[in-house]
Amino acid sequence: MSGIPLTILAEKLNASLFGKSDGDVTNVTHDSRQASEGTIFVAIKGSTVDGHRFVGDVMRRGAAGVISEFEAPDAFDGAWLQVANARVALAKAASLVNDDPSHKLDLIGITGTNGKTTTTYLCYALAEAEGIKPAMLTTVEYRIGDRTEEAVRTTPEASDTNRFLKQAVEEGCGFAAMEASSQAIDLHRCDWLRFRVAIFTNLSRDHLDYHLTMENYFDAKKKLFDGRLGERPGSCVVNIDDDWGIRLADELRANGQKVMTFSQNLDKNADLSGDDINVSLLQGTSFLLKTPIGERKITSPLVGRPHVYNMLAASAAALELGYGLDSIVKGISRCVGAPGRFERVSHPGNFAVIVDYAHTDDALLNTLKTAKELATARIITVFGCGGDRDKTKREPMGRIAGEYSDLAIITSDNPRTEDPLKIISEIEVGVKASGGNYVAISDRREAIRLAINAAAPNDVVIIAGKGHENYQIIGNDKFHFDDREVALEAIEDRKDK
């Protein structure tokens, strides 16, 4: 395998090179377990683990050297590259060593509080419909063509992303789409990637435990668009039904960047819009897509107005890549979306069961508004909030669930190391303020069973928060738990009803 000489890599990273300077680098990693001959190991001092602890181990594995923000230790036997920022160096080194794979296909980056995963699936489907072999990195899975593997995180570390993109190029992919989370952007995981299109879906309260303020949260998202990651994207696709999106579009245009807007409001004069929207729990969603090059009737198996935004975003990106309207219509009609995103649980009963990943107040509001639009009877909502995560959304989620549900069942999500009853008590504040009808059951299995047993004909049961996840984290232990499986078990047990 060809590589890049250590001296050239040091020069490109603006690094001070100590120790050995001969040899080529053929791999870059932040994970000591991936180190082998020819690997450069990037030692990152994280919040819980310090990568410098593993320097000895990677050198015993034959690594070519280490990248670090610190000075080389005495008598270090290898190459030591000292840099100003190890995470930035990880991203740039990963791109260089993997021969800049993001330059060799059409890469789309998707960011926003909600809709990232479904929009990624839609973009993937549109590329397929255009006859281009696609790849994608999502919260749910990583996929190249028909080959998939379970996702480790929403946005991988830069070394993993570049390795994935290089593999996609080698396997004939001409397109890739990836979710770009705000934390990943802030931690430089998306640096030095060339995005043909960057998509902004929306912005609402989330991750304030990390970002602290909405301004910080917005600024992290904005980095995907304004060039601070290395270079500006070729085009920016922005939702202007979102106030933060309006601001982003205005700031990008003032910066001389190309912006394509989308909206469900015809009065906004967006570049793409959706008109005559019809939503059915059984038949999916249809609307008239209006674009700068014409109009087309869209039909989709996805259910709900929030998905119209995802379809508009994907359509705008496709147009920016030169796809035709026929491919857009065909791709959307075939895309069943991401698992756990307003996913209908198929069963023979006379009530509906929906599993949804909604784990923020805005996402829960969208989900329950969609259910309200479709329901002919009651809405029963099972939900909770994750432990060791943003606490500011607990009261609002409780208020929304109480307001839009006929019965809200508060339960555990992934409590992690927090007391589940304490989390529930913080959610209860919002439910009580709404005046809604609710019960609290900390055991999620029992909460789902209660909802299923309470369902009457034509009711809609919403099980929110975990979506595609097939596990629950209690304390430091991870257990198998799939909302869909638990719902079907409960339905089977009530077969006499």
pLDDT value of position 341: 87
Residue of 491, 479, 415, 406 lying closest to 449 (CA atoms)? 491
pLDDT value of position 205: 67
pLDDT value of position 129: 98
Backbone phi, psi, residue 368, to 5°:
-75, -30
Stretches in the chain below the pLDDT threshold 70: 1-2, 205, 207, 495-497
Query: pLDDT of 69-83, one tens digit each?
Result: 999 998 888 999 999
Residue-wise burial string across 476-497, b where 16 or more C-beta atoms lie within 10 A, e elsewhere: eeeeebbbbebbbebbeeeeee
pLDDT value of position 216: 93
pLDDT value of position 3: 85
Query: pLDDT of 292-326, one tens digit each?
Result: 999 999 999 999 999 999 999 999 999 999 999 99
Question: What domains can you pick out in the chain, each with its CATH number?
Answer: 4-97 (3.40.1390.10), 101-334 (3.40.1190.10), 343-493 (3.90.190.20)
pLDDT value of position 1: 52
Instruction: Round to whole Å and give the CA distance between 126 and 173.
Output: 14
pLDDT value of position 47: 76
Q: Which residues contact 331 (CB under 8 A, 6 or more apart)?
A: 122, 125, 126, 127, 128, 129, 130, 314, 318
DSSP E strands in 264-372: the ranges are 272-280, 284-291, 294-300, 343-344, 352-356
* Contact yes or no for 100/12 (Cβ under 8 A): no
